């Protein structure tokens, strides 16, 4: 019987080194350009597709890791390269996770490849959950889906906000209300196939950070999709709604099921950015001289760097624990998934701010990447559940009470 070990196996170290090489050689040299252009970095996506880094096969391989760490390892390395470009590569994975969380095996086989396209013609996918008046408040969603029994079609109307790849995606995964009397338990997730009439987007939103990643509102105006595009199928939905109407547990709802699957991965994203800022500021402090000595020889600078390293490593351990638990179906009895995302997100914002401070005036300029890293990091305390929502999840889990 093997003993406890935190050492990565050969497959995981090979994966880490492979992705790190791509992040170092392809992503980093392009980071500043695509941040300034605020455009989707299609050439980088194409390069990633050519080597098999972007595609459903790689994502499936990472998910298949029985230890559960491969996806977190790859994600950290990509975001170490650059967060905006990395999110352009990883955003499709959120939609794929939505299909995985709610879809049937047949739907996974049909639609996940459509999310990514091919090596020669890569595509994107979008997961559309948030709305203008409802982000963290998933029970407040207003987008409606109505079943047309005569044509076996679902008709969807509403507006989605802050959708990564929204409007430019090949496949959109959309959450919608099918029974408004049941709150969040009356929701379902749907596939919007490529080219479906009625789906539109006004264009990319200009953002504080993650500028290379496309974020947009998505409008759904009498969008008609085949009945088979309801993730999980109508029989499963009807059964779940019946249980909810009777007051029984319904097994959760579509948006939260996806977020629980992806929160440790978002934590890994945040760690990648924090680590990049830490490493850059460490090298800067070892090289920069002031008052006749390297600035790292000052305790205030050295202690900042020591704290950065400690906090990043602690956050990574929380992410790895949650990733292992999720892969091995160990229940998050204390909100461990939310813990990992909460800690990593706040560490990323703090560490990138300290990196700017260590560089001083230089860190505030675009001549050094820590300025961009700081802008990119802020979103980790906001999207896929704010820090306050993560604390709420943990508080409810440890207390067993419905804390508001």
Q: Is residue 32 exposed (0-12), middle (13-18) or buried (19+ Cβ within 10 Å)? A: middle
CA distances from 219 to 97, 158, 172, 249, 383 (A): 22, 6, 12, 32, 20
CA distances from 304 to 201, 273, 354 (A): 44, 17, 7
Which residue shows structure tokens 């050295």? 302
Q: Is residue 361 exposed (0-12), middle (13-18) or buried (19+ Cβ within 10 Å)? A: exposed
Which residues have a Cβ under 8 Å from the Cβ of 206 and sit 6 or more positions away?
Answer: 38
Alpha-helical (H) ranges within 288-369 are: 299-327, 336-359
- 220: which 2 tokens? 């759904």
Query: Kindly report the CA angle at 73 between 70 and 75, in degrees rounded to 5?
Result: 105
Q: Are residues 282 and 370 in contact, defined by beta-carbon separation less than 8 angstroms?
A: no
Nearest to 133 by CA among 108, 91, 94, 161: 161
Beta-bridge partners for 199 = 220
Q: Does 384 qualify as catalytic in the annotation?
A: yes
Which residues have a Cβ under 8 Å from the Cβ of 91 and sit 6 or more positions away?
Answer: 124, 125, 126, 164, 165, 213, 214
In three-state secondary structure terms, 339 is: helix
Q: Are residues 27 and 44 in contact, defined by beta-carbon separation less than 8 angstroms?
A: yes
Q: Indicate which residue of 260, 311, 371, 384 is catalytic.
A: 384
What are the residue numbers of the active site? 384
């Amino acid at each position: 019987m093997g003993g406890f070990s935190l050492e990565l196996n050969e497959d995981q170290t090979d994966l880490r080194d492979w992705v790190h090489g791509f992040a170092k050689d392809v992503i980093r040299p392009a980071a500043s350009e695509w941040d300034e252009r605020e455009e989707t970095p299609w050439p980088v996506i194409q390069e990633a597709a050519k080597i098999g880094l972007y595609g459903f096969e790689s994502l499936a391989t990472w998910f298949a890791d029985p230890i559960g760490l491969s996806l977190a390892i790859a994600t950290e390395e990509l975001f170490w390269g650059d967060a905006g470009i990395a999110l352009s590569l990883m955003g499709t994975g959120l939609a794929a996770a939505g299909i995985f969380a709610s879809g049937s095996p047949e739907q996974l086989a049909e639609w996940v490849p459509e999310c990514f396209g091919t090596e020669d013609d890569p595509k994107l996918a979008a997961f559309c959950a948030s709305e203008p008046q409802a982000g963290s408040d998933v029970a407040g969603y207003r987008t409606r889906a109505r079943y047309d029994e005569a044509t076996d079609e679902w008709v969807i109307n509403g507006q989605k906000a802050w959708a990564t790849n929204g409007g430019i995606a090949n496949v959109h995964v959309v959450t919608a209300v099918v029974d408004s009397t049941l709150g969040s338990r009356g929701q379902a997730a749907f596939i919007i196939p490529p080219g479906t009439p009625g789906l539109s987007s006004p264009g990319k939103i200009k953002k504080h950070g993650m500028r290379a990643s496309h974020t947009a509102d998505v409008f759904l105006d009498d969008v008609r999709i085949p009945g088979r595009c309801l993730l999980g199928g109508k029989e499963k939905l009807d059964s779940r709604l019946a249980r909810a109407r009777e007051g029984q547990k319904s097994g959760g709802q579509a948006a939260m099921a996806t977020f629980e699957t992806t929160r440790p991965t978002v934590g890994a994203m945040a760690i990648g950015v924090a680590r990049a800022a830490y490493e850059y500021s460490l090298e800067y402090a070892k090289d920069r001289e002031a008052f006749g000595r390297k600035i790292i020889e000052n305790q205030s600078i050295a202690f900042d760097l020591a704290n950065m390293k400690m906090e990043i490593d602690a956050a990574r351990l929380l992410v790895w624990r949650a990733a292992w638990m999720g892969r091995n179906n160990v229940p998050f009895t204390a909100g461990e998934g939310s813990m990992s995302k909460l800690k990593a997100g706040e560490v990323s914002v703090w560490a990138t701010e300290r990196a700017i401070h260590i560089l001083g005036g230089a860190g505030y300029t675009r001549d050094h990447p820590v300025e961009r890293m700081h802008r990119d990091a802020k979103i980790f305390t906001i999207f896929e559940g704010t820090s306050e929502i993560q604390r709420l999840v943990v508080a409810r889990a440890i207390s067993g009470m419905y804390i508001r």
